[in-house]
């Protein structure tokens, strides 16, 4: 399980996809929202290890910081419920929030950097704890967590003038590079969602649209057996065209 962040694509392909890996990706590597996907994979005996991979400079954790420390309440309810509320009881962050306004710019910058590091770690611990509980009747399933340090990965920096895309696939073992090829997108400009259905990843898609202003959404079919199910994802996305996907380009890309 990993975050949808574009900067992880190549690294995940190289380090974690040995051809035997089932990936799930959403905003912040959040297991709660992927409960259905995970439960199915575990109960079908497909999995002997779950690795939750957070990363440094995570956009989802920036949102948590902004909402709780800066008291920014403008996020949509989908983002609040899914990304922010799980951290509501995190005392450390509340304490930072109390002191933050009285700090000078330098102090704020270092307090934010530290808080975000702690949040990233806390997030992975929360997901791992949740998954250990979820899989406790499956003793053959090992759950571990880790954090990918983006400063060790060579990827182009973000640029507001670049056009980014979201590529969604039903969970499968394909390399992200191949998915992006199929979608005709540049892997460095592509956020990747992978779940048992696009509806399951709806809050993450909403985050990509609202926070990163991405309006190019491509559903890919890297595995022919997923073709029919992608059609139902496409129908669902179309039904959201008058809602949060208003103005977005939604397409299916396949061979």
CB hemisphere CA count around 96 (13 angstroms): 26
d(CA 155, CA 30): 23
CA-to-CA separations, 40 to 7, 201, 226, 236, 239, in angstroms, rounded: 28, 16, 16, 21, 26
Tokens representing 120 are 């990233």
* CB nearer Zn ion, residue 121 or residue 254: 121
Binding span for Zn ion by CB under 5 A among 53-61, 72-80, 91-99, 198-206: 53-61
Site membership for Zn ion, residue 200 (CB under 5 A): no
d(CA 36, CA 196): 7
Site membership for Zn ion, residue 194 (CB under 5 A): no
Tokens representing 253 are 């890309």
Binding span for Zn ion by CB under 5 A among 54-62, 66-74, 90-98, 119-127: 54-62
* Helix 9-16 and helix 176-183, axial crossing angle in degrees, nearest 10: 140
Tokens representing 178 are 């191949």
Minimum distance of Zn ion from residue 5's CB (angstroms): 4
Site membership for Zn ion, residue 5 (CB under 5 A): yes
The helices-and-strands tally (H runs, E runs) of the chain is 9, 8
Binding span for Zn ion by CB under 5 A among 31-39, 52-60, 144-152, 216-224: 52-60
Site membership for Zn ion, residue 119 (CB under 5 A): no
CB atoms within 10 A of CB 81: 14
* CB nearer Zn ion, residue 30 or residue 185: 30
Binding span for Zn ion by CB under 5 A among 50-58, 143-151, 205-213, 228-236: 50-58
Minimum distance of Zn ion from residue 218's CB (angstroms): 20
Tokens representing 11 are 């690294």
Size of the site for Zn ion (CB under 5 A): 3
Minimum distance of Zn ion from residue 124's CB (angstroms): 11
The SS3 call for residue 77 is helix
Query: Any bridge partners for residue 2, and if so which?
Result: 25, 53
CB atoms within 10 A of CB 98: 9
* CB nearer Zn ion, residue 2 or residue 131: 2
* CB nearer Zn ion, residue 8 or residue 182: 8
Site membership for Zn ion, residue 58 (CB under 5 A): yes
Q: Which of 3, 41, 115, 250 binds Zn ion (CB under 5 A)?
A: 3
Minimum distance of Zn ion from residue 29's CB (angstroms): 7
Contacts with Zn ion by CB under 5 A lie at: 3, 5, 58
């Amino acid at each position: 399980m990993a975050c949808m962040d574009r900067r992880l694509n190549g690294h995940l392909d190289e380090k974690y996809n040995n051809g035997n890996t089932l990936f799930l990706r959403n905003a912040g590597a959040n297991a709660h929202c992927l409960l259905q996907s995970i439960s199915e994979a575990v109960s079908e005996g497909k999995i002997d290890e779950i690795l939750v991979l957070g990363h440094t400079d995570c956009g989802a954790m920036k949102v948590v910081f902004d909402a709780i420390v800066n008291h920014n309440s403008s996020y949509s309810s989908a983002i609040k419920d899914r990304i922010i509320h799980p951290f509501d009881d995190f005392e450390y962050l509340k304490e930072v929030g109390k002191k933050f306004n009285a700090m000078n710019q330098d102090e704020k910058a270092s307090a934010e950097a530290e808080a975000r590091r702690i949040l990233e770690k806390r997030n992975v611990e929360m997901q791992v704890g949740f998954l250990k509980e979820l899989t406790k009747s499956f003793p053959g399933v090992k759950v571990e967590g880790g954090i990918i340090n983006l400063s060790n990965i060579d990827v182009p920096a973000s640029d507001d003038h670049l056009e980014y895309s979201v590529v969604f696939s039903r969970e499968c073992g394909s390399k992200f590079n191949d998915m992006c090829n199929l979608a005709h997108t540049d892997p460095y400009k592509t956020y990747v969602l992978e779940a048992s259905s696009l509806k399951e990843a709806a809050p993450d898609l909403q985050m990509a649209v609202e926070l990163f202003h991405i309006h190019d959404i491509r559903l890919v079919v890297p595995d022919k057996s997923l073709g029919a199910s992608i059609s139902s994802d496409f129908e669902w996305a179309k039904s959201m065209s008058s809602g949060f996907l208003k103005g977005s380009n939604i397409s299916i890309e396949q061979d």
